[in-house]
Amino acid sequence: MAYSLVVPPASHFHTSTLRSMASSILSRHLTSSLRHSRGLSASGHRHQQTTAKRVEEVEFDGPCMKTEVPGPRSKILAQQLESIQSVVQVNFFCDYEESKGNYLVDVDGNRMLDVYTQIASIPIGYNHPALTKVMTDKKNMSTFVNRPALGMMPPEQFSEKLVNGLMAVAPKGFSRVQTMACGSCSNENAYKAIFIWYRNKMRGTPEPTPEEVRTSVINQVPGCPDLTLLSFMGGFHGRTLGCLATTHTKAIQKLDVPSFDWPIAPFPQLRYPLDQFERENAREEARCLEEAEDLIVKWNQKGRHVAGVVIEPIQAEGGDNHASFDFYRKLRGITKKHGCAFLVDEVQTGGGSTGKFWAHEHWGLDDPADIVSFSKKMLTGGYYQKDSFQPDKPFRIFNTWLGDHTKNLLLTEVIKVIKTENLLDQAKKSGKVMLEGLYDLQDKYPHLLSKARGIGTFCAIDVKDEDTRNLLLLKARNKGVVLGGCGTQSIRFRPALVFKEHHAHLFLDIFNDAIAELK
């Protein structure tokens, strides 16, 4: 059976491939060996390589478009919502009950292949049977009905669920986790943990002086020390007040909001194709590392100590900006040299999209970080921490709920699905198809596309300018593919882990058709 596309008339696993990328600055892995086996038809489209029977057993057989998006029903709902709250960022309204697997259905009945998945936050697709089973299991009823203050009165099964869930996929070297609700509050509290850790180290004791206690409640030193965090241009770590001081992407996210004066280091601006600019990119990374270390030294010398460094394994919101694995290894060495905590923000990169459960695993380090934050595909938020970052007194890291225990139940099932269905390997396979297809498209449309890049299905491509990028996103959506932008001119691809090779081929076909319509 062919895939149907109805458009309205006029209206923790290792592979040699990924290991090789660490030594070639994210080179186009296996490009030469794959060029001859892309499965292209004479028209340039890919033959579907999975039987319809398998597709029908799992989900829909393809997109089906009935209206433009947003459609009439979405527009009516937007008008209703506008009287209550802002809708300027609302794309369309969804029918989540009808959505399934890799397909998102809107309230107008449009069925779209979702390659963005709620900003990279759907791990195993919509309405996965394993998750609906958790919801309908009567023994879980009290967990969903009663939301406990986990920091004070956790349920009996809390430790067990953490062991079988978050701790079952803990990054190497971590035996502690602190749950939170979202990515921003995860980083916000991780920052607090870093500052507490650093101050205890400076004092030589966790016990504050009477003067520190007195001045802390009136926002003055020494109780509120003038410590800093170093972050990188292009990084995104959240929209809460402390996180905004380390977020350096779009002005609209920070405009009119007071911020902390903390050091900002340059992030490498790599030139593509990577294999043609290895020497230039190595120099660029060396420059950025040197500037980062200089900033740590200078800020320490003026008494505004850099307590920690925060960075993403791939700068997602900022434009899917990559650096080599060696860059991160050397940066880790700098933090150890100067006694800074190293926080790796895996809110968007964690959960398996890169073919490893944590993107920093690609670096190949025995001691990759002091704290690793997470959210999105992990369903709950929080951070893993070393023992020394554990608070020594109550209420230092605290809020009412400290996450949501129901998400721990769901995550346990997600992890089982990932393991039993080998979804990390699937991300590698599907990502190979996607990246090769993106290489093809940028070769076919060099005046429009460039810098195809990615690891696993965590991929992106640049469009010639922001306006063209935004138009392409709309055209693709109206043809049945949901995508998202990042940076000023990039499109980021964030499918669920159940996104298979035939989904990648289907996406590439539709994406090609959308690009062909651009002037």
Give me the numbers of helices (H) and strands (E) for the chain, helices first please: 17, 14
Verify whether residue 345 is a known catalytic residue.
Answer: yes
Q: Is residue 407 in a domain?
A: yes
Same domain, 193 and 222: yes
The last residue of one of the domains, among 367, 394, 419, is 419
User: Which residue stretches of the chain have pLDDT < 70?
Assistant: 1-58
Residues belonging to the chain: 519
Q: Does any domain span residue 11?
A: no
Asked if 240 and 253 touch (Cβ cutoff 8 Å), the reply is no
Same domain, residue pair 241 and 326: yes
400: annotated active-site residue:
yes
Same domain, 168 and 208: yes
**For residue 188, what is the domain's CATH number?**
3.40.640.10
- Give yes or no: residues 427 and 307 share one domain: no
246 plus 395 within the same structural domain: yes
Residues 152 and 290 placed together within one structural domain of the fold? yes
Among candidate residues 232, 236, 327, 499, the one labeled active-site is 236
Same domain for 389 and 462, yes or no, is: no
Decide if 9 is inside a domain. no
On whether residue 173 sits in a domain, the answer given is: yes
**Total domains in the fold of the chain:** 2
Give the global pTM.
0.89
Tokens of residue 277, six digits: 């600019």
How far apart, in whole angstroms, are the C-alpha atoms of residue 300 and residue 307?
Answer: 9
Contact 376, 174 (CB under 8 A): no
Domain identity same for 355 and 277: yes
Q: Which of 161, 376, 428, 451 is catalytic?
A: 376
Whether residue 250 is contained in a domain is answered as: yes
Q: Which of 419, 441, 469 delimits the end of a domain?
A: 419
**240 a catalytic residue:** no
Buried b / exposed e across 121-134, counting CB within 10 Å, b at 16+?
bbbbbbebeebeeb
Domain assignment present for residue 130? The answer is: no
Do 293 and 303 form a contact (C-beta atoms < 8 A)? no
Secondary structure (3-state) at 491: strand
Quick: pLDDT tens for 255-300. 999 999 999 999 999 999 999 999 999 999 999 999 999 999 999 9
Q: Give me the catalytic one of 108, 320, 345, 462.
A: 345
CA atoms of 356 and 361, how far apart (whole Å) = 7
Domain presence at residue 2? no
Question: In this structure, are 330 and 471 located in the same domain?
Answer: no
CATH classification of the domain holding 500: 3.90.1150.10
Question: Is 440 assigned a catalytic role?
Answer: no
User: 496 CB contacts (<8 Å, ≥6 apart)?
Assistant: 101, 102, 114, 117, 122, 123, 124, 125
363/445 same-domain check: no
Catalytic residue among 132, 400, 425, 444: 400
Kindly state whether residues 404 and 510 are assigned to the same domain: no
Please give the pLDDT value at position 58.
Answer: 55
Q: Which domain holds residue 195?
A: 141-419
What is the structure's pLDDT at 220? 97
Q: Is residue 244 part of a domain?
A: yes
Which of 419, 454, 477 lies at the terminal end of a domain, its last residue? 419
Cis peptide before 273 (omega within 30 of 0): yes
Q: Are 493 and 401 in a shared domain?
A: no
From CA 356, how far away is CA 349, in angstroms rounded? 10
